[in-house]
Amino acid sequence: MKKIAITEKILKRPVTAIMMSLLLIGFGVFSLSNLKVTLYPTFNIPVMGVSVNYANV
């Protein structure tokens, strides 16, 4: 039995290869547009303030 490499299949059927490539690109663009990414994450930094009054200074 003769094995046909993937490159030979693509060369024999270029329209199928182009359609598969466009489908893959379309899926990538769709996934990228639905991806929820925040540029700066929200976080809370604990802060403590101390106030001291000096008398006669």
SS (H, E, C) 4-39: CCHHHHHHHCHHHHHHHHHHHHHHHHHHHHCCCCCC
Confidence band (pLDDT; 50, 70, 90) for 57?
Answer: low
The Cα–Cα gap between 53 and 35 comes to: 53
pTM beyond 0.75: no
* pLDDT value, residue 1: 58
Q: What is the mean pLDDT of residues 40-47?
A: 85
Q: What percent of the chain has a predicted confidence (pLDDT) above 70?
A: 95
Question: For residue 17, is pLDDT > 90?
Answer: no
